[in-house]
Amino acid sequence: MAYNDARQPDRFPEALTVTQLNEFMKRMIDASPRLSGLYVKGEISNFKNHYATGHWYFTLKDEGSQIAAVMFRSAAAKMKFVPEDGMKVTVRGRISAYVRGGSYQLYAEGMEPDGVGALYIAFEQLKRRLGEEGLFDPARKKPLPKIPTRIGIITSPTGAAVRDMINVTGRRFPFARLTLWPSLVQGEEAPPQLVEGLRYFNETRSADVIIIGRGGGSMEDLWAFNDERVVRAVAMSSIPVISAVGHETDFTLCDFAADRRAPTPSAAAELAVPDGETLKRQIAHIVTREADVLRAMLRADRQRLDALASRRALTDPRNFIDDRRVTLDRLTDSLMRAEENRITGRKAVLAACAGKLSALDPLSVLARGYSAVYKSDGALVRSLADVEPGDGVTFRTVGGEADCTVDRVRKTEDGKDAAGNAKAE
């Protein structure tokens, strides 16, 4: 690039291309040590997490101005929290020009919340997200077994926490068998080991209850128990889990996902197993109570047996049999009278029916002086039209029958049919 001497104001400088100008400005900005490794404080807006590339794009602003900013994926992957619009932060980075756009922007290399720690922000964000998924729902928490005989412990094998749990368990309930899964409890390598311990106990079914935890420390020291992988493994465990991380005032996301939260590892051991002495007293009380119930039942059965043995049927069976004989005779007489009455009633009904049948018997009509006349084919002569002179008929009356021949047929004066004179053959 060439510039005319400033002492020659009558000549215009040589024209630069836009690219040349922007590249020149970029070199000027990049060469300034003041604009490298600086800290800028402001409020985040227009935040965009570019999921395809992993880069973060946002605007950093205050009351009077704003500047565009970008954090590339390599730096964003190291962040403990994800920025949000409206969050006040302090950004560490450098200023450089964007040649193609003709603008300068802040290239962020690190970020801290203004006034609140990054770990706290990350804690609250993950807690909110997992809570919305239902991992902390009380309805999904499992009850602890009342008398577990196998306790799984996931913690550091060299820390004070494991010694406390062993001592408390041995003192309260020495019948329980403890299985330790040694694991790191802080640092980047701790979460995978903690998850592997949970997976082992669930797959082998070698524990009735699992205790996961460590002693107290700073939020950074306890951060492995806020790792999303560990929290999900605790929530998905089919075996009840007791979270015992830190001291009473320390809280981790494992505490919310676990089935029970203990303030300390020692308290977790007390929750996991019953007190042996208390259990013995309870068992002794139950045995005593059951023995009293059994003795009361025996007394009642003995009294009932004595009452049965004192009955007359056993003490004087002959009198008992005689009484039953008298009762049997009375029942027999009663049965005979009832049967006689029933037969008498049936006879009366039968006589009435016989009277009705006798009244309908044709022979009874003949006995009163009437006769019946039949034709040769056996048909009853019902009217004068049924016979003609010369027909053979049978005359049936009391005592027998007589065969006759019709000589003639004549009608009565009132027009009704009448039988003609007949003679015997």
What residues does each domain of the chain span?
18-116, 137-274, 366-424
State residue 272's pLDDT score.
93
Cβ(104)–Cβ(40) below 8 Å: no
Residue length, the chain?
425
Question: Helix or strand or coil: residue 132?
Answer: helix
Task: Go through 381-419 and write b for each residue having 16 or more CB atoms within 10 A of its CB, e for each that does not.
Answer: beebeebeeeeebebbeeeeeeebebeebeeeeeeeeeb
What is the pLDDT of the chain when averaged over all its residues? Answer: 85
SS3 66: strand
Which of 197, 209, 222 shows the shortest CA–CA distance to 274? 209
Torsion angle, CA of 36/40/43/44, rounded to 10 degrees? 20
- The DSSP letter of residue 224 is G
Tell me: pLDDT of 10 over 60.
no
Q: What is the pLDDT of residues 125-152, one digit of tens each?
A: 888 889 999 999 999 999 999 999 999 9
**Which residue from 222, 252, 234 is spatially nearest to 152, judged by alpha carbons?**
234
| pLDDT for the residue 141 | 94
What's the rounded mean pLDDT across residues 268-280? 89
**What is the H or E stretch that residue 298 is in?**
helix 276-309
Q: Say yes or no to pLDDT of 13 above 70.
A: no
3-state secondary structure of 137: coil
- Whether the per-residue pLDDT at 17 is higher than 90: the answer is no
- pLDDT for residue 346 is more than 80: yes
Measured distance between the N- and C-terminal CA atoms of the chain, rounded to whole angstroms? 177
Burial of 100 (0-12, 13-18, 19+ CB in 10 A): exposed
Asked whether residue 3 carries a pLDDT value surpassing 50, the answer given is no
What pLDDT does residue 6 have? Answer: 45
Q: Is 58 left (phi over 0), alpha (psi -120 to 50) or beta?
A: beta
Angle between helices 190-204 and 228-236 (to 10 degrees): 10
For the domain made up of 137-274, the CATH class stated in words is alpha beta
**What angle do the packed helices 228-236 and 118-132 form, to 10 degrees?**
30
Q: Render pLDDT for 179-234 as a digit per residue (tens, 0 to 9).
A: 999 999 998 899 999 999 999 999 999 999 999 999 888 888 888 999 999 999 99
Mean pLDDT is lowest, of 22-26, 51-55, 103-107, 300-304, for: 51-55
CATH classification (class only), 18-116: mainly beta
Q: Which class for 242: exposed (0-12), middle (13-18), buried (19 or more C-beta within 10 A)?
A: buried
| Rounded Cα–Cα distance for residues 20 and 247 (Å) | 62
Beta strands in 279-371 (DSSP E): none
Global pTM reads 0.52
pLDDT at 180: 95
The confidence score (pLDDT) of residue 363 equals 65
At position 382, the amino acid (one-letter code) is R
CA-based torsion, 365, 367, 369, 371: positive or negative: positive
